[in-house]
Amino acid sequence: MAKKKVKRMDGYDVVIVGGGPCGCVLANDLTKAGKKVILIEKGGNNLKGLGSMFGMTNGEHMEKAKGSVWQKTIEGDGVVIGTGMGGGSYLYAGIVGMPQFEAFDEVGMDLRPFLEEAKRETWVSKTPDEFIGPQTRRMLEVCHKLGLPFEPAYRHIKFDKCEYGCTSAAFGCKRHAKWMGYYAANEAAERGATLQIYTDIKEVIVENGVAVGVKGKGVKDGIDYEIRGKLVVSSAGGLGSAMIARSAGIMSAGNMLFGDPSISSFALLPPGTKGSFYEHGTSISMMDDEHGCLFSTTVTWPRMFWSMYQLMGTGGIRGAVKTFREFPRIFSIFNKIHDAGIGQITWDGRVSKILTNEDDQKMNYCRYINTKIMTEMGCDPSTIHHTLSRIPGGMTFGHPGGTCSVGTVVNNKLETEVKNLFVCDISSLPGAPSRPPVLTLVTLAKWFVPQLLGRLNAS
């Protein structure tokens, strides 16, 4: 039997596995610094379905289980796993969450000097007054009356390119007004970086205790690849980086997992009043760090998608019909919480995630505050309802991470126990962000670039 041919690629300064926000920014900044970089991505490098429901469901930008909008945990809840160049930044709403610097301080990492550069990179700007709709403005007034410090949200958006009432942000922005890692990756390619797409990395090559490259297989061509470089960085996300670390013999990887669970509350406004789905989504927010909760006006999904989501989730046919009928009057508030890292990546790469009683208390606090706001806004109290956390499919975990966290799998230089093998992505964060993580991740990547350059220049 003929030996299978292996395609060998060598001579790189840095081999980056995973084209999420961190991987894309690292590739771009290292290439700017004159380094030879290869960025390897399991998915593609395209904008197929940009700005439409097809962008979420075509498999190019997000993994999904059969019969579901998302991938599923073993327990049956949704888990959002981005794929393709840009990763999760293709299908996020563009809300800015400020990094929690204190968590990094505790492990000896000062990210503050890199924040402003990360903000410029990711187009951070405050929601203009003209993008705050009438019901959202009414909610802002009600919240201030209740002593809740809601404010216009900061977004990863160029509002001069944006359109009020747009419902496509979470499907990828067809106006190119929302920042995505995709832009950084393709800028890196213009500077000479190699973008190796549709390649699934299965193993780290370790020789004499040192990482010298990776092995993988082409997703579409079936070719076996061996890609070598001076340094190896895994930026493959909460699942991918845990599996890559395990392939190098690091058994502490994937044994804890945070998810940033998302819940929502809904109610009907008085008859004749248009609901929040007709306004610009996620335009005001409040970060309650004391309780570990994010509050925001909801993502503005189109009527058909929101009905389909109910059909494929816990609502079933009855829920889909009800949602379609009531859609014009629905008012919704969106939440995320800082959850405990009780979860794991199984040996075969599946996600298991369990909520604690403390997690439930945080979500109940969100429901309590949401109910107060909706009641004060004049919503019919009998129509107020909330997504539930103790039924299969009731939860969506938007940011699975912490599987290779600082102090557990990597040190405060993001290096593993295997020399020259690093992890820089949501898996290496020291705790759940409880807020959209893009700004934190890009700030982390900006901080990490000088660390890598120092290692390369010293070798």
Give the least confident one: 38-47, 196-205, 289-298, 302-311: 302-311
CATH topology of domain 1-45+84-122+179-257+399-459: FAD/NAD(P)-binding domain (3.50.50)
Strands 284-288 and 293-297, by their bridges, are antiparallel
pLDDT of residue 1: 46
Rounded to whole angstroms, the Cα distance separating 279 from 136 reads: 8
> What does the alpha-carbon distance between residue 458 and residue 455 come to, in Å, rounded to a whole number?
5
Cβ-contact 184, 39 below 8 angstroms:
no
Residue 367 has pLDDT above 80, yes or no: yes
Confidence of residue 390 (pLDDT cuts 50, 70, 90): low
Q: How is the chain split into domains, by residue range? A: 1-45+84-122+179-257+399-459, 126-168+261-344+356-397
Pairing state between β 71-72 and 284-288:
unpaired
pLDDT at position 15 over 70: yes
pLDDT (0 to 100) of residue 409: 98
Q: Are strands 224-234 and 6-17 parallel, antiparallel or unpaired?
A: parallel
pLDDT tops 70 at residue 280: yes
**3-state SS assignment for residue 183:** helix
Q: The pTM is what?
A: 0.95
Q: Which of 360, 341, 347 is closest to 399 using CA atoms?
A: 341
Helices (H), 77-190: 101-105, 115-121, 134-145, 181-190
d(CA 417, CA 209): 9
Decide: 283 and 151 in contact? Cβ < 8 Å.
no
What letter represents residue 106's amino acid? E
Which has the minimum average pLDDT: 59-63, 266-270, 300-304, 389-393? 389-393
Burial class of residue 380 in the structure, from the number of CB atoms within 10 Å of its CB (0-12 exposed, 13-18 middle, 19+ buried): middle
Confidence of residue 370 (pLDDT cuts 50, 70, 90): very high
Q: Which CATH number fits domain 126-168+261-344+356-397: 2.120.10, 3.30.70, 3.30.410, 3.40.1840?
A: 3.30.410
Q: What gap in Å lies between CA 120 and CA 156, rounded to an integer?
A: 10
pLDDT, mean of residues 355-379? 96
- pLDDT of 389 > 90? The answer is no
Cα–Cα distance, 116 to 424 (Å, whole number):
19
Side chain identity at 170, as an amino acid letter? A
What percentage of residues in the chain have a pLDDT greater than 70?
98
132 confidence band (pLDDT: 50, 70, 90): very high
Nearest 5 degrees, angle CA 226-CA 459-CA 7?
A: 10
Cα of 10 vs its chain's centroid, Å: 31
Chain-wide mean pLDDT for the chain?
93
Average pLDDT over residues 22-43: 98
Confidence class of residue 276 from pLDDT cuts 50, 70 and 90? confident
Sorting pLDDT into bands at 50, 70 and 90, what band is 415?
very high
What phi-psi label fits residue 76: left (phi over 0), alpha (psi between -120 and 50 degrees) or beta? Answer: left
Q: Which of these, 455, 446, 453, 7, lies nearest to 196 by C-alpha position?
A: 7
- Confirm if 138 and 59 have CB atoms less than 8 A apart: no
Residue 224 vs residues 6, 10, 45, 215, 244: alpha-carbon distances, Å: 5, 14, 20, 7, 16
Residue 165 pLDDT more than 60? yes
Q: How confident is the model at residue 368 (pLDDT cuts 50, 70, 90)?
A: very high
Checking if the pLDDT of 69 tops 90, the result is no
Q: Does the CA dihedral 196-199-200-201 come out positive or negative?
A: negative
Least reliable range by pLDDT among 45-59, 79-93, 236-250, 371-385: 45-59
Integer Cα distance of 11 and 294 in angstroms? 45
pLDDT at 171 over 90: no
Residue closest to 162 by CA, chosen among 305, 276, 281, 27: 281
pLDDT in tens, 325-360: 888 999 999 999 999 989 999 999 999 999 999 999
User: With contact defined as beta carbons under 8 Å apart, do 170 and 262 qualify?
Assistant: no
Q: Which residue has the tokens 């000097």?
A: 113
